[in-house]
Amino acid sequence: MFDNNEHTVVLLSDVDAEIDRLLMSSPPQVAEAARYHFSAGGARVRAQLGLGAATALKLSPKVAMACALAPELLHNASLIHDDLQDGDEVRRDTPAVWSRYGKDVAISTGDLLISAAYVAIANHPNPAAALGAVHHAVTVTIDGQTQDCRTDCPTPERWATIAALKSGPLIALPICLALIAAKVEGQDTAIRAGNALAVAYQTLDDIEDRDSDLANGSTNICLSLEAVGNAPVFAKNIACDRAYAALLTARKHANALPSNAGASLVTLANLLESKLKDIDHAT
Amino acid sequence: MFDNNEHTVVLLSDVDAEIDRLLMSSPPQVAEAARYHFSAGGARVRAQLGLGAATALKLSPKVAMACALAPELLHNASLIHDDLQDGDEVRRDTPAVWSRYGKDVAISTGDLLISAAYVAIANHPNPAAALGAVHHAVTVTIDGQTQDCRTDCPTPERWATIAALKSGPLIALPICLALIAAKVEGQDTAIRAGNALAVAYQTLDDIEDRDSDLANGSTNICLSLEAVGNAPVFAKNIACDRAYAALLTARKHANALPSNAGASLVTLANLLESKLKDIDHAT
């Protein structure tokens, strides 16, 4: 997805190989469930962000791997646990881990991936600061997920807050880990970019899932905008416009990061904008 | 419970205060559930083991806290997730977290405590090795829990393997973290002591819970011994004798650790033996 990967010595396939290696020393049933989850797809966006930032900041391959691997593993742990918490039976067009392997295996698989994410930090040059950044990201993600589970139809503003809490920290984390390793400032800026990207990404998802979310009683920005008096077609337009604005915000913060460390965030923003335009212009 | 705490500058109450501090920056609902869980009791055995080993090895208060805190947080995370996985509604005579706060909050609370355990490692002098030891302990614990969930009535030998896998690693972990910090050998020995203590501890628990485990269909060493042809009274006697033997094994390994690092394990073995005698002599 990102062109900048070809300039780094660590490739996305190396990250997948490292995940495989981690799973080889894991309990068989949990490793099988994790492999099943990863093999169902996923663009490894957070790993790509980490590799991109590491390349821009000229970090070593070992450190680049740490920046890519920890957020990617945490993201997938959160998907496995979220699907169980939300009762979502399908992920990436196949049964979710809990639906395929049972709830107990899904809990253990998510636990293992959280633990593995922290082991990846062993290769970070500033483990103490990196551990703090990872825990902060986990804490805020859990906050967002907990609020999401307990909210039926939030106001549009509250929807955006929850989307940023739930998905922003793990988008920003790969950049934050690379910044810490390079000893340069910008973590707050990266987090603001991550939050804006999270809102844009979740809006795209919600526009596509509006009908199924209505049927399932899930939160959705279109339904939140409809609930405050907008007709469905206008709700979609407003959602699109807010997502465009979020992408502008994301690019502004990403471009403000030192040493081009936010280039991969800009690439992600461009990709999301292209998808948004397709959806916006679809009837 | 352990006398040796009075010789260290870090007290068990300091560990509880540090847990409180960690929860202050946590999402409110999750922090409330975690506080509820911790306030219901628990002897903080793993924290005490860490403080004891740190005192014996003359580690600094900051490192002692890391050795105590990480295993204690992981243990409690495992209790919260295990109760949900096993469908156990009661823990320490009060409703289990999932039963009181819901399954989604229980999953998030366990996740938060796993993450917080790793942050505690930030103060360890060899974070890379410590992270590896923590992840190894988590991996084996998950293996034990997964096997336990999937086993109805194991043979007595398999029961012991699962008990060691499930509870041994987090008993040994505080000692292992202290040994790594002091740059002395003995991790394998500590793990063997931990495994033996786990078998003794679980046997005690099973003898007390034999009737309720029979009713609930839970695994239990007494039921496993009965299933291979022993009358209940003989099954209890065999279980007691195996627990005494496990405690001898635990003491042997604990005493083999350098610099008296296993003293707190011996104290735990003595405590368990005293409880075992009470049960053994009860009609």
Range in A44-58, A253-267, B7-21, B97-111 the model is least confident about: B7-21
CA dist B113 and B23 (Å) reads 9
Q: What is the mean pLDDT of residues A173-200?
A: 98
Cβ distance B178 to B67 under 8 Å?
yes
Mean pLDDT of all residues belonging to chain B: 94
Contact assignment for B85 to A77 by CB distance below 8 Å: no
Look up the ipTM and state it: 0.93
Token pair recorded at residue A145: 């997920």
User: What pLDDT score was predicted for residue A165?
Assistant: 97
Beta pairing class for B94-95 and B90-91: antiparallel
Beta pairing class for B94-95 and A94-95: unpaired
In the block, tokens 């209940």 appear at B232
Chain A: residues touching B (Cβ < 8 Å): 25-27, 29-30, 77, 81, 84-85, 103-105, 107-108, 110-112, 114-116, 118-119, 121-123, 127-128, 131-132, 134-135, 138-139, 142-143, 145-147, 149-150
Q: What residues in A contact B122, CB-CB < 8 Å? A: 127-128, 131-132
Q: What is the mean pLDDT of residues A3-25?
A: 81
Helices A61-86/A12-24 angle, 10° precision: 70
Q: For residue A94, give the H/E element and its range.
A: strand A94-95
| Three-state secondary structure readout of A99-122 | HHHCHHHHHHHHHHHHHHHHHHHH
pLDDT tens readout for residues A248-262:
999 999 999 999 999
In the block, tokens 């913060």 appear at A253
Cα radius of gyration rounded to whole Å, chain A: 18
CA dist B147 and B145 (Å) reads 5
Token pair recorded at residue B3: 């006398």
Chain B: residues touching A (Cβ < 8 Å): 25-27, 29-30, 77, 81, 84-85, 103-105, 107-108, 110-112, 114-116, 118-119, 121-123, 127-128, 131-132, 134-135, 138-139, 142-143, 145-147, 149-150
Mean pLDDT of all residues belonging to chain A: 94
**Model confidence at A7: pLDDT above 60:** no
User: What pLDDT score was predicted for residue A217?
Assistant: 87
Backbone φ and ψ for B262, nearest 5 degrees, come out as -95, 10
Band (B167; pLDDT cuts 50, 70, 90):
very high
**Model confidence at A89: pLDDT above 70:** yes
Q: For residue A95, give the H/E element and its range.
A: strand A94-95
User: What pLDDT score was predicted for residue B2?
Assistant: 52
**Model confidence at A190: pLDDT above 60:** yes
Q: What is the mean pLDDT of residues B63-74?
A: 98
How many interchain CB pairs under 8 A, A with B?
133
**Model confidence at B127: pLDDT above 70:** yes
Q: What residues in B contact A132, CB-CB < 8 Å? A: 119, 122
User: What pLDDT score was predicted for residue A41?
Assistant: 86
Task: List the beta strands (DSSP E) in B69-219.
Answer: 90-91, 94-95
**Model confidence at B248: pLDDT above 70:** yes
Q: What is the mean pLDDT of residues B8-17?
A: 89
CA B150 to chain centre: 21
User: What pLDDT score was predicted for residue A216?
Assistant: 86
Contact assignment for B128 to A123 by CB distance below 8 Å: yes
Give B240→chain A minimum CA distance, Å.
30
User: What pLDDT score was predicted for residue A9?
Assistant: 82
Contact assignment for A118 to B134 by CB distance below 8 Å: yes
Q: What is the mean pLDDT of residues B3-30?
A: 83
**Model confidence at B131: pLDDT above 60:** yes
Contact assignment for A118 to B116 by CB distance below 8 Å: no
Q: Suggest the residue from A24, A69, A82, A115 to mutate for an interface test with chain B (most B CBs closer than 10 A).
A: A115
CA dist A140 and A168 (Å) reads 9
User: What pLDDT score was predicted for residue B92?
Assistant: 86
- Closest residue by Cα to residue B251 from B237, B268, B234, B238: B268
Token pair recorded at residue A11: 């490739």
User: What pLDDT score was predicted for residue B7?
Assistant: 47
Task: List the beta strands (DSSP E) in chain B.
Answer: 90-91, 94-95
Contact assignment for A142 to B108 by CB distance below 8 Å: yes
Contact assignment for B107 to A116 by CB distance below 8 Å: no
Contact assignment for A115 to B112 by CB distance below 8 Å: no
Cβ distance B224 to B154 under 8 Å?
yes
pLDDT tens readout for residues B74-101:
999 999 999 999 888 988 889 999 999 9
The DSSP-derived string for B199-227 is HHHHHHHHHHHHHHHHHHT---HHHHHHH
**Model confidence at B119: pLDDT above 50:** yes
pLDDT tens readout for residues A19-46:
999 999 899 999 999 999 999 988 999 9
In the block, tokens 């409180």 appear at B20
- Which amino acid belongs to residue A173? L
Query: Is 1.10.600.10 the CATH number for B3-281?
Result: yes
**Model confidence at B240: pLDDT above 70:** yes
CA dist B18 and B117 (Å) reads 11
In the block, tokens 């920005």 appear at A221
A88 or B249, which is more confident: B249
In the block, tokens 């002395």 appear at B184
Q: B90 forms bridges with which residues in the sheet? A: B95
CA dist B48 and B65 (Å) reads 10
B202 contacts: CB under 8 Å, gap ≥ 6: B163, B166, B167, B221
Cβ distance B148 to B167 under 8 Å?
no
Cβ distance A101 to A126 under 8 Å?
no
Token pair recorded at residue A140: 């805020």
**Model confidence at B3: pLDDT above 90:** no
Cβ distance B218 to B229 under 8 Å?
no
For A255, counting Cβ atoms within 10 Å of its Cβ (0-12 exposed, 13-18 middle, 19+ buried), the class is: middle
Backbone φ and ψ for B186, nearest 5 degrees, come out as 125, 5
Exposure string of B207-245, with b = 16+ CB inside 10 Å and e = fewer, is: beebeebeeeebbbbbbbbbeeebeeeebbebbbebbbe
Cβ distance B276 to B204 under 8 Å?
yes
